[in-house]
Amino acid sequence: MAVPGTFLTPILLLVCGLSPCLAAAHSPPGVECVLFNEEYMTCTWGSRETLTANYSLYYWYENRSPVVECKHYLQDQGISVGCHFNQSEIIQFQSFRVLVNASLGGRTLEIPSERMELQDLVKPEAPVNLTIRNTSSNQLELTWNSPYPKAHCLEHAVKYKSNKDTSWTEHRVKGDIFSFPSVDYEKYYTFYVRSKINSYCGNTQLWSEWSVPVVWGSNSTSKDAAEEQLHWFWIHTVLIPVASCLLLLVLVVLLVRMERVWVILMPRIPNPSKNFDELFITHNGNFQEWAGVPKDVMESFKPNYSENICYVSELPPKDMYEPLWENSNY
């Protein structure tokens, strides 16, 4: 029994080797289906670069419909890469199953896919009619319409940027209105909006495409703005410093050369000692001589008589002795 086993093993290996080869070389990465605005659906399983076999798709709704082949294939250079479904072929909230048959050289490989819930694969169309309204006190109000019929099932995202910003700012919005709080009238703003089915109607991460943008603000074109900026740059960075330096230089030169100006700015502190040079040096401290007192006035102050010194002393009063005398008796 070992002999047939030895023959069987390589055959098995060959067959087992071939089918993954068929699968690996030509297998689609998985079937991806997207419902566009609930109007039509496309299920794709690859692109021309990765597929080489002949593919056919079969679909059914669990416990509902029989297995049906795709009626409208999407072709890319002769190879079926996807299937297009009309609105009548789409049933949401029913488990959707898909089976893709790959055939190459007479051999067929079945590639099943997982169960899909179509309500979780809806991609709404991008919002339209974006309009901006100027409300009171520097506020802007952005409104839009959506081609998707059920507005209560949508949530939106707004992204905007001014001409002075470097990156986009994104905000999530539940309704159809976005209020932009503080707007700068000198900036130029651009707004985009996109939509997604909200969690009340499905479980999806498929955002729509960004809408056509809407702009607002003073569009001083970039060329003018750049020129104006250059103009200001020259004034602020070159002209003003140079002029200030020149002015400073002129003032310094003036100060140094013109003593009239120097004296006004830096007045001399009066030094009275010089006024008295004559008194101390010439007249040797003789004030009367320096002051110019006449000689006969000086003579008149000198006395022309002599006077003896008279010594005067004071006697103490009499009553002071008596108490002393009385005390000494006792």
Partner 1 sequence: MERMIIFCMLFFCSSMALTAAPHKIAKYKQLLKTITRLETTVKDKDVELLHTPENPADGCLFTAVTCFHKGTLKLQPENNQVHSTFTQTIKVLRRFTISDPGKHCESSCESYEKKTPKEFLKSFAKLIKQVIR
Question: What token pair was written down for 76?
Answer: 């890319």
Q: Which stretch binds partner 1 (CB under 8 A): 91-99, 259-267, 287-295, 304-312?
A: 91-99
Question: How far apart are CB 148 and partner 1 at their closest, in Å?
Answer: 11
What character string, x for contact with partner 1 (CB under 8 A) and - otherwise, covers 23-62?
---------------------------------------x
What character string, x for contact with partner 1 (CB under 8 A) and - otherwise, covers 128-167?
----------------------x-xx--------------
- Residue 190 within binding range of partner 1, rule CB under 8 A: no
- Residue 201 within binding range of partner 1, rule CB under 8 A: yes
Burial class (CB in 10 A: 0-12, 13-18, 19+), 244: exposed
User: How many other C-beta atoms are found inside a 10 Å radius of the C-beta of residue 51?
Assistant: 20
Question: How far apart are CB 193 and partner 1 at their closest, in Å?
Answer: 22
Kindly report the CA angle at 144 between 166 and 218, in degrees rounded to 5?
45
- Is the Cβ–Cβ distance between 36 and 25 less than 8 Å? no
Q: What is the DSSP string of 100-135?
A: EEEEETTEEEEEE---EEGGGSEEPPPPEEEEEEEE
Helix (H) or strand (E) holding 41: strand 40-44
- Residue 202 within binding range of partner 1, rule CB under 8 A: yes
- Residue 98 within binding range of partner 1, rule CB under 8 A: no
What character string, x for contact with partner 1 (CB under 8 A) and - otherwise, covers 101-130?
----------------x-x-----------
Question: How far apart are CB 1 and partner 1 at their closest, in Å?
Answer: 45
User: Which residues, numbered 266-305, are part of the site for partner 1 (CB under 8 A)?
Assistant: none
- Residue 200 within binding range of partner 1, rule CB under 8 A: yes
Phi, psi (rounded to 5 degrees) for 263: -70, -35
Q: Which stretch binds partner 1 (CB under 8 A): 93-101, 124-132, 214-222, 293-301?
A: 93-101
Taking CA atoms, 140 is separated from 96, 143, 163, 186, 243, in Å, by 45, 10, 17, 14, 45
